[in-house]
Amino acid sequence: MIYGIGVDIEEVGRIKAVIKGRESFIERFFSKAERELFAEKRFNPETICGNFCSKEAFVKALGTGFRGITMKDIEVLRDELGSPYYQISGALAEKLKDKGFKWHLSLSHTAQTAVAFCIIEKE
d(CA 119, CA 17): 30
In the annotation, is 104 catalytic? no
d(CA 28, CA 34): 12
Length of the chain in terms of residues written: 123
Count of Cβ atoms closer than 10 Å to residue 37 Cβ = 20
Class of residue 29 by CB neighbours under 10 A (exposed 0-12, middle 13-18, buried 19+): middle
Which one is catalytic: 20, 32, 60, 99?
60
Which one is catalytic: 16, 41, 102, 109?
109
CA distances, 107 to each of 6, 29, 44, 113, 114 (Å): 12, 18, 15, 11, 7
Which residues are designated catalytic? 60, 109
